[in-house]
């Protein structure tokens, strides 16, 4: 496997050779094999381990295992701990989604602060099958079937061509130690149900299933590329761009045998989700509109016009006194006392009112603004970095409002609360602030 792995890296990720690599290391067999392979090939690596504190003593056992491995092999190590359940409850996320958000935000912070070039994760061929089947079971288009990307921005997945069986065989041959996550044995999660029940059946029905699946994914990726190429060619016939505005000629669009598919290819990157409304716009009366968070799509006679939603009060400041219960400009915010913090989310926060200094100030963010993100152990973070991690568009950043208490950020509205105003055991007065 070492030679096959080296050939794969040389052919597809040659840029890793002179890069500083941050390896996501859980302590499980997949990540430990990835660490061993790259260490054997003398790449410049460091380990990064997240303790999500979800499995008590077992979580700390994995942390200690990774620490001991790094010390023994003299590999740099970065460790962090998260209160994942609290974060998931506060933002109404599943535990898995919360862990993913915390993990990747931290990884990207390490890339910047420690000057590493890429994050490497140990996703492999069986993970690809499971993701394919999950998406298939939920209903998906071609994009959901093409598999986990081998590279996505700064994230590289060098084990994707290798099966779980190959990884296990390599680990046994090289006496690699690892920690087994007890949750992997449970069928609580859909992925585990597929892993334990469906995939073995598929392999039983077709002993060459893995090879067949990888060929199918290759064909699907080629088909996706053809779709994207066709969309670009037809776009040039149907659309005209003027700055940030795009005008689609409906006469040309309706000549296409499957215009809905083209509209989806052109518009999904602009954040539209109400597709039936988008498609109906083609034959609706002039003046009808469909909105995404950042854009509007307007029917104007024989055209569809896509344009950004423009904020005309970008430089304004709004002062909010203690007795105010509702603000309608520039946003709809509601303020009320609360007895508990149930219902917290990106659009509803709960703060310790006694920590606030009035009047509160509502204004647009500015370059250089920083805060302490909720759930991130009180570490300071610039809003510009937060927006980069959240992958916000330029328009989203321009339309981001911030709530201030004196010289401290209380809330990056709709995105993240500040840690300094969180509810704790000493809180006597809870204030609920909701974006409506």
Specify binding-site residues for ATP. Answer: 26-31
Binding-site annotation: residue ranges: 26-31
Sign of the dihedral defined by the CA atoms of residues 256, 258, 259, 262, in that order: negative
Angle, helix 125-138 to helix 209-238, in steps of 10 degrees:
60
The four Cα atoms 282, 283, 286, 289 give a dihedral, to 10 degrees, of: -50
Q: What is the C-alpha separation between 69 and 61, in angstroms, rounded?
A: 12
SS (H, E, C) the chain: CHHHHHHHHHHHCHHHCCCEEEEECCCCHHHHHHHHHHHHCCCEEEEEEEECCCCCHHHHHHHHHHHHHHHHCCCCEEEEECCHHHHHHHCCCCHHHHHHHHHHHHHHHHHHHCCCCEEECCCCHHHHHHHHHHHHHHCCCHHHCCCCCCEECCEECCCCCCCHHHHHHHHHHCCCCCCCCHHHHCCCCHHHHHHHHHHHHHHHHCCCHHHHHHHHHHHHHHHHHHHHHHHHHHHHHHEEEECCEEEEEHHHHCCCCCHHHHHHHHHHHHCCCCHHHHHHHCCCCCCCEEECCCEEEEEECCEEEEEECCCCCCCCEEEECCCCCEECCCCCEEEEEECCCCCCECCEEEEEHHHCCCCEEEEECCCCCEECECCCCCCCEEHHHHHHHCCCCHHHHHCCEEEEECCEEEEECCCEEEHHHCCCCCCCCEEEEEEC
Q: What is the C-alpha separation between 51 and 56, in angstroms, rounded?
A: 10
Q: What is the C-alpha separation between 30 and 166, in angstroms, rounded?
A: 10
Q: What is the C-alpha separation between 55 and 151, in angstroms, rounded?
A: 30
């Amino acid at each position: 496997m070492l030679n096959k792995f080296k050939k794969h890296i040389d052919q597809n990720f040659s840029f890793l050779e002179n890069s500083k690599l941050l390896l996501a290391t859980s302590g499980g067999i997949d990540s430990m094999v990835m660490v061993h392979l790259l260490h054997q090939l003398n790449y410049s690596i460091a380990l990064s381990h997240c303790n999500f504190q979800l499995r008590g003593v077992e979580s700390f056992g994995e942390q200690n295992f990774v620490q001991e491995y790094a010390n023994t092999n003299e590999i740099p190590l970065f460790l962090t701990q998260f209160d994942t359940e609290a974060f998931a409850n506060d933002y109404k996320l599943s535990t898995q989604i919360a862990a993913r958000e915390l993990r990747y935000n931290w990884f990207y912070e390490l890339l910047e602060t420690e000057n590493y070039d890429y994050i490497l994760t140990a996703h492999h061929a069986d993970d690809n099958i499971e993701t394919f089947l999950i998406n298939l079971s939920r209903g998906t288009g071609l994009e959901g079937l093409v598999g986990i990307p081998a590279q996505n921005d700064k994230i590289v997945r060098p084990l994707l061509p290798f099966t779980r069986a190959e990884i296990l065989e390599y680990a046994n041959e090289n006496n690699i130690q690892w920690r087994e996550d007890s949750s992997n044995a449970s069928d609580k999660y859909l992925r585990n149900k597929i892993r334990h029940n469906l995939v073995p059946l598929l392999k039983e029905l077709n002993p060459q299933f893995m090879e067949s699946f990888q060929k199918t994914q290759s064909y699907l990726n080629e088909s996706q590329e053809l779709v994207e190429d066709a969309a670009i060619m037809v776009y040039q016939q149907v659309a005209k761009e003027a700055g940030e505005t795009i005008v689609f000629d409906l006469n040309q669009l309706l000549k296409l045998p499957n215009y809905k598919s083209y509209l989806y290819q052109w518009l999904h990157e602009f954040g539209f989700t109400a597709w039936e409304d988008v498609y109906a716009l083609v034959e609706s009366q002039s003046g009808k509109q469909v909105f995404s968070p950042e854009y509007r799509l307007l029917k104007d006679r024989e055209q569809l016009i896509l344009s950004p939603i423009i904020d005309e009060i970008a430089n304004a400041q709004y002062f909010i006194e203690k007795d105010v219960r509702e603000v309608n400009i520039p946003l709809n915010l509601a303020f009320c006392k609360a007895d508990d913090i149930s219902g917290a989310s990106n659009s509803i926060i709960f703060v310790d009112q006694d920590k606030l200094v009035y009047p509160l100030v509502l204004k647009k963010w500015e370059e250089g603004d920083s805060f302490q993100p909720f759930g991130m152990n009180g570490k300071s973070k610039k809003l510009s970095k937060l927006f980069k991690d959240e992958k916000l568009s330029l328009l989203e950043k321009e339309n981001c409002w911030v709530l201030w208490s004196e010289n401290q950020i209380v809330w990056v509205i709709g995105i993240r609360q500040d840690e300094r105003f969180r509810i704790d055991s000493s809180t006597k007065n809870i204030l609920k602030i909701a974006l409506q």
